[in-house]
A = this chain, B = another copy of it.
Amino acid sequence: MTDAPLVDCLQYANWSDKIFQQMRSGRLDAVHVTIAYHETFREMVLNIEDWNRRFERHGELIFPGRTGDDIRRARREGRTAIFFGFQTPSPIEDDIGLVEICHALGVRFMQLTYNNQSLLATGCYEEFDAGVTRFGRQVIAEMNRVGMVVDMSHSAERSTLDAIEISSRPIAITHANPHWWHPALRNKSDTVLGALAETGGMLGFSLYPHHLKNGSDCTLSAFCTMVARAAERYGSDCLGIGSDLCQDQPDSVVAWMRNGRWSKQTDYGEGSAAAPGFPDQPDWFRDNRDFRTLADGLRAAGFSEAEVAGILGGNWQTFYDRSFGPKPA
């Protein structure tokens, strides 16, 4: 265990010194952070500028992650490598050249959709899923070329299967759970997860209550038993964590995620008018310090030490190593 890296492949917190300190207490080596939802390119750049100020101010705790080797560097230096990702393709606007520009700025993951139809594909809340679009095919090829990972966490079924097939490199579902465990619209079908695993892709299990059976009351044991069932179906090498931790965010942020600028009405997404805000985290996963609690749970669910090490970071390490550079000839 002590030799394996710890990687969380999705967080969107209200970043602060406290949270970076907790990353270090939890010994997180790498965190994939969302830097944009519905932002234009220029607005997204302002978010990177904010991150640059954080890297300046908290350089003893965090640094910008660019390659798989930065996870190893993080462990050597006792800091956490921060990898950037988008949850919608809004920042590339309608301009395929922005894929390489964003990669140069450090972006390593991009969802082809959030919950709605995008210019690239269909989100899981749309009624009809038309699959990957003409522009979407071009963008996937460009992401493959430069080394930006296609993330289909919020995308609809056919679009996700299309992306797996079209992409010449393995894709990721950074933060979702199996639909057979908890049938949320955001969770993924057995067909999708099977195709993902077969093509070398990765699934990051989500700890966001709306993706958990029994929501905030989900137990560690129930969660880890689900992971064990997933390992039986897909093998454990394609499994990791993408907690979707939205620590310390005001509820206005979940409203932005769900509504962006696209609606004058309020869309509650996975919530409801009665419960519009962020749900409470389960008490065994509240912040980065609880990451290793998962290790105990996975062991109790029957995983070997090597499997636990893989799921908590080793598998993402392998995936990061082969995903973030130009496509090998």
Q: Which residues of A contact B (CB under 8 A)?
A: 41-42, 45-46, 48-49, 52-53, 95, 97-98, 100-101, 104-106
Contacts and interface: CB of A to CB of B under 8 A. Distances in A.
Most B CB within 10 A of own CB, among A41, A42, A53, A106? A42
A101 B49 contact: yes
Instruction: Give this chain's copy count.
Output: 2
B97 A52 contact: yes
Contacts of A100: 49, 52
A186 B104 CA distance: 35
Contact of A101 (B45, B97, B98): B45
14 contacts: A41-B42, A41-B45, A46-B97, A48-B101, A49-B95, A49-B97, A49-B98, A49-B100, A49-B101, A52-B100, A53-B97, A104-B104, A104-B105, A105-B105
Nearest to A97: B49
A113 to B, nearest CB: 23
Contact of A42 (B42, B53, B104, B105): B42
Contact of A105 (B41, B49, B53, B101): B101
Nearest to A146: B52
